[in-house]
Structure 1
Amino acid sequence: MNPDDLFARLREATAPTEIEALQNGIWQHWLTTHDHRLDKHLEVGMRAMAAGDYTLAIAEFDVLVQARPAYAEGWNKRATAHYLRGEYRASIRDVQQTLRLEPRHFGALAGWATMRRMLGDTAGALRLLRRLEKICPHQPGLQAQLRDLLEQLDNPES
């Protein structure tokens, strides 16, 4: 099934297992460059990130974004590695590029919302989660996060 069909079904899906299966199908499309050499850099970078070697991961993802700047997942993976290393500005720059290339990237939207929330930008986090809601309205936990952010905006002292 192509990604557009998966996204259409994702908007309608309500069961957590169905949502997860559809998102996994989308990730399968995102996680291939259709170039064996670049797929290898992606794989090495992901393994390095899983092992906590964020410097190596970023170096591998650098190769991806330089060789294929239109490949959204290269930017997203590098954003994740920057985030895990505590480099939020660099992560946000890469997330923004990810979303320019793939505006429906639910992982990038959720990650950016988390960073905005951590940085005290409740309104910014809310805007990003509203964008996520249009893509996957029944994402488990999303409605609770939205309610929490709205409550924080209504009661800034609490």
Structure 2
Amino acid sequence: MRYATLITLTATSVAADCPEGQDYTAQIAALVAQMQVAPDERAARALSGQMWEIWLDAPDALAQGMLQEGVALLRMGDTNASRAALTELIDYCPEYAEGYNQRAFAAFLSGDFEGALIDLDRAIVL
């Protein structure tokens, strides 16, 4: 948890400094086109994995650490701590769609379906 505290303190002190993330529009479009003609499920899954690598690429190292913490907490089953960590990520990088997507998943797993839908709507807009 020392890492989580460091992220929290750092994010609080530089909240206005989240850079704009890389634009992956062309890469995602190319992967979608390839997926539409994928010869089998295995090939489609490989392309899906490439999409996830793009989506999970946060705008900077601080945001990446926050995302990884939130996802790790979710995998450990601590949806409340995960949501808190992902909320910090969203506060720091409000234009990073994957922060909302992951927080929506944590909300869904904790039974907060309304919260999940709100975050999913925001992720889709972004």
TM bucket (normalised to shorter chain) is 0.7 to 0.9
What does residue 106 of structure 2 align with? Answer: 81
Q: Distance in 2 between matches of 1:31 and 1:53?
A: 20
* Matched ranges for 1:6-21 at <5 A: 6-21=31-46
What does residue 4 of structure 1 align with? Answer: 29
Aligned residue pairs: how many? 101
* Matched ranges for 1:45-56 at <5 A: 45-56=70-81
What does residue 66 of structure 2 align with? Answer: 41
What does residue 30 of structure 1 align with? Answer: 55
Q: Which amino acid aligns with 1:17?
A: R
Query: Secondary structure of 1:58's partner?
Result: helix
* Matched ranges for 1:113-152 at <5 A: none
The ranges of structure 1 where at least 4 consecutive aligned residues each deviate by more than 3 angstroms after the TM superposition are none
1:25 Cα deviation after fit: 0.1
Q: Give the gaps of 5 or more residues in structure 1.
A: 102-158
Larger Cα Rg: Structure 1 or Structure 2? Answer: 1
Q: Distance in 2 between matches of 1:94 and 1:9?
A: 28
Q: Which amino acid aligns with 2:58?
A: T
Query: Secondary structure of 1:2's partner?
Result: helix
Higher relative contact order, structure no. (Cα contacts within 8 Å, ≥ 6 residues apart) = 2
Q: Give the gaps of 5 or more residues in structure 2.
A: 1-25
What does residue 60 of structure 1 align with? Answer: 85
